[in-house]
């Protein structure tokens, strides 16, 4: 009798999950998600890895996954602890023969997997490429030859005509779980009621919610046919696909999205906009491979380019930025929206990141850490890749990107509706040179 453990991480779904399908050929299957207490403690850049909005979205996704697993004859076991201890302990406790999980690009996650394999050498461990459109073996270059820019990456991928593998349907049934003691749900931190802590900007975690949203966006409302013209809007729900929280948590597979776009193009309409949504998925793809290729350099100040740029840390400027109290109303509005909902548009992210690096002259890693805490769609590769790009130390041949904040306001918020909606005209605006001993250390929430 074989016993498998499937460790869910950023692939919280049953559809297009080839690793789960393989694990399901065992006689008994233990499905596990590990909640790591380190996520809830402040890290080196003053922020926690997981703020309340993302925690709520993740929790909703886990509950939806549990329900989906139960409908197939299994269930989700939630463990509380570090994965490098919890997974080996479960492997030993349940006499597991095979361990399956997604291959992840983050450097901690890679280290954890290596430590787990070392701790239980008798278990056959296998990682699956669940996050990306392509598999590494399909790329027309080795990871050590990954193009230094997105454009070169896209050109090579398109020239080689590589296609994502067709998405696989959810398994019809799953083997039963081995008998389980009570899991650690009660030990996990409480989820803040959306009514009290913001509303996740209209997003609901889980695979079913993801599919329903995507179905509406693509097939019912067909917003995709205008995507290229609308995607730069600051704050308008249908202006962009709003897939990122589900993609980041793996409630939706990128391969599924790509396949659906192709189906839409052949059955309904194909235009620049339908291509552009796929083009943006390629951006995501590029950042995933960049993270795989550069590992820890993704988190280092000098970036993957290893260029030194002047940057420092002023506590009062950082605090003003996080709390929407800078001298820049457009930036304040976006930062208020981010703090209150856990989501802002791509345009708003570029504006606040440019302000952080160029106007406030702060070390980009603090901004990235705040995004990591706040964003419900936080994705290690996309977040750190984009921050490096804007800070001029990443995959951008043009160097530092500086957005003219007045021009951005005129162009994207001409009647200041966004600034008004998110209260960007702060009465407590903090000037660049205001320093007070009481600002240090700063408390952020
Ligand atoms: C400083 C900064 C930090 C960011 N951090 C994250 C992050 O942590 N997680 C995240 O998913 N995206 C991040 N992005 C990228 C982008 O802003 C979001 O993916 C996008 O706003 C999500 O909204 P959407 O799904 O409506 O996007 P759409 O415009 O509808 O795009 C569709 C999908 O394409 C992908 N995509 C689009 N633009 C990018 C991009 N620039 N980089 C990578 N993927 C992209 C996303 O998966 C997105 O869901 C960041 C961008 C910046 C400038």
Choosing from 284, 288, 354, 387 the residue with most ligand 1 atoms within 8 A of its CB, the one to mutate for a pocket test is 284
| pLDDT of 399 above 80 | no
- The correct CATH number of 131-166+207-295 out of 3.40.640.10, 1.10.3720.10, 3.40.50.300, 1.25.40.80 is 1.25.40.80
Average pLDDT, the chain: 93
Q: Which helix (H) or strand (E) holds 153?
A: helix 150-159
Global confidence as pTM: 0.95
Ligand 1 site, residue 379, Cβ cutoff 6 A: yes
Beta strands in 83-123 (DSSP E): 98-102
Please write the tens of the pLDDT for every residue from 90-133: 999 999 999 999 999 999 999 999 999 999 999 999 999 999 99
| pLDDT of 1 above 60 | yes
CA of 328 from ligand 1 middle (Å) equals: 23
From residue 72, give the alpha-carbon distance in Å to each of 94, 140, 273: 21, 38, 38
Question: Phi/psi at 30 (nearest 5 deg)?
Answer: -100, 115
pLDDT number for residue 179? 80
Please write the tens of the pLDDT for every residue from 312-358: 888 899 999 999 999 999 999 999 999 999 999 999 999 999 999 99
pLDDT number for residue 430? 75
| pLDDT of 370 above 70 | yes
Tell me the average pLDDT across 397-420: 91
CATH class of 315-431: mainly alpha
CA of 344 from ligand 1 middle (Å) equals: 10
Q: Which residues pair with 102 in a beta bridge?
A: 128
CA of 244 from ligand 1 middle (Å) equals: 6
Ligand 1 site, residue 416, Cβ cutoff 6 A: no
Ligand 1 site, residue 326, Cβ cutoff 6 A: no
| pLDDT of 401 above 90 | no
Q: Are 13 and 4 in contact (CB under 8 A)?
A: no
End-to-end CA distance of the chain: 49
Ligand 1 site, residue 244, Cβ cutoff 6 A: yes
pLDDT number for residue 44? 83
Tell me the average pLDDT across 58-66: 97
| pLDDT of 438 above 60 | no
Cβ-proximal residues to 64 (8 Å cutoff; 6+ apart), any chain: 12, 205, 206, 207, 208, 209, 251
Nearest alpha carbon, ligand 1 atom 11? 244
pLDDT number for residue 311? 76
Ligand 1 site, residue 377, Cβ cutoff 6 A: yes
High-pLDDT (> 70) share of the chain, %: 95
Q: Are 31 and 181 in contact (CB under 8 A)?
A: no
Token readout for 382 is 């996309």
Task: Say which residue the tokens 């790329």 belong to.
Answer: 139
| pLDDT band at residue 419 using 50, 70 and 90 as cut-offs | very high
Distance CA(110)–CA(352), nearest Å, equals 30
Domain segments of the chain as ranges: 1-130, 131-166+207-295, 315-431
User: What is the dihedral angle through the alpha carbons of 407, 412, 418, 424, rounded to the nearest 10 degrees?
Assistant: -20
| pLDDT band at residue 435 using 50, 70 and 90 as cut-offs | low
Please write the tens of the pLDDT for every residue from 137-172: 999 999 999 999 999 999 999 999 999 999 999 999
| pLDDT of 42 above 60 | yes
Distance CA(189)–CA(52), nearest Å, equals 10
pLDDT number for residue 313? 85
Nearest alpha carbon, ligand 1 atom 24? 242
* Range from 147-151, 361-365, 432-436 carrying the lowest mean pLDDT: 432-436
| pLDDT of 286 above 90 | yes
Please write the tens of the pLDDT for every residue from 71-87: 999 999 999 999 999 99
CATH class of 1-130: alpha beta
Position in ligand 1 atom list of the atom nearest CA 378? 8
């Amino acid at each position: 009798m074989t016993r498998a453990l499937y460790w869910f991480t950023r692939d919280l779904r049953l559809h297009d999950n080839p690793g789960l399908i393989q694990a399901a050929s065992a006689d008994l299957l233990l499905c596990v998600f590990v909640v790591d207490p380190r996520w809830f403690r402040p890290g080196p850049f003053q922020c926690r890895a997981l703020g309340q909005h993302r925690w709520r979205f993740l929790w909703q996704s886990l509950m939806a996954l549990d329900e989906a697993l139960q409908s197939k004859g299994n269930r989700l076991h939630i463990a509380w602890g570090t994965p490098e201890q919890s997974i080996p302990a479960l492997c030993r406790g349940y006499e597991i023969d095979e361990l399956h999980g997604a291959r992840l690009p983050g450097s901690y996650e890679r280290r954890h997997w290596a430590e787990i394999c070392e701790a239980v050498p008798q278990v056959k461990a296998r990682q699956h490429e669940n996050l990306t459109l392509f598999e590494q073996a399909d790329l027309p270059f080795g990871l050590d030859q990954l193009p230094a820019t997105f454009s070169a990456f896209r050109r090579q991928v398109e020239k080689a005509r590589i296609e994502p593998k067709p998405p696989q349907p959810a398994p019809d049934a799953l083997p039963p779980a081995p008998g389980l003691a009570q899991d650690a749900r009660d030990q996990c931190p409480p989820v803040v009621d959306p009514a009290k802590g913001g509303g996740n900007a209209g997003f609901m975690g889980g695979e079913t919610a993801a599919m329903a949203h995507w179905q509406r966006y693509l097939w019912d409302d067909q917003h995709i046919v205008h995507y290229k013209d609308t995607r730069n809007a600051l704050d308008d729900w249908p202006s962009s696909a709003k897939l990122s929280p589900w993609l980041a948590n793996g409630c939706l597979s990128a391969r599924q999205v790509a396949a659906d776009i192709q189906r839409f193009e052949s059955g309904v309409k194909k235009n620049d906009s339908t291509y552009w949504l796929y083009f943006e998925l390629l951006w995501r793809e590029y950042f995933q491979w960049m993270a795989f290729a550069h590992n820890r350099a993704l988190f280092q100040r000098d970036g993957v380019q290893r260029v030194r740029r002047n940057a420092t840390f002023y506590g009062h400027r950082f605090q003003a930025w996080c709390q929407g109290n800078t001298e820049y109303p457009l930036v304040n509005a976006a930062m208020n929206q981010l703090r209150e909902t856990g989501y802002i548009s791509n345009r708003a992210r570029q504006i606040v990141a440019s302000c952080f690096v160029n106007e406030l002259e702060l070390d980009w890693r603090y901004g990235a850490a705040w995004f990591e805490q706040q964003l419900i769609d936080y994705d290690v590769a996309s977040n750190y890749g984009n921050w490096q790009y804007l800070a001029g130390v990443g995959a951008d041949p043009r160097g530092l990107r500086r957005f003219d904040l007045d021009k951005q306001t005129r162009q994207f918020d001409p009647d200041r509706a966004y600034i008004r909606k998110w209260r960007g005209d702060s009465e407590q605006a903090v000037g660049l040179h205001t320093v007070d001993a009481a600002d240090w250390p700063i408390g952020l929430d």
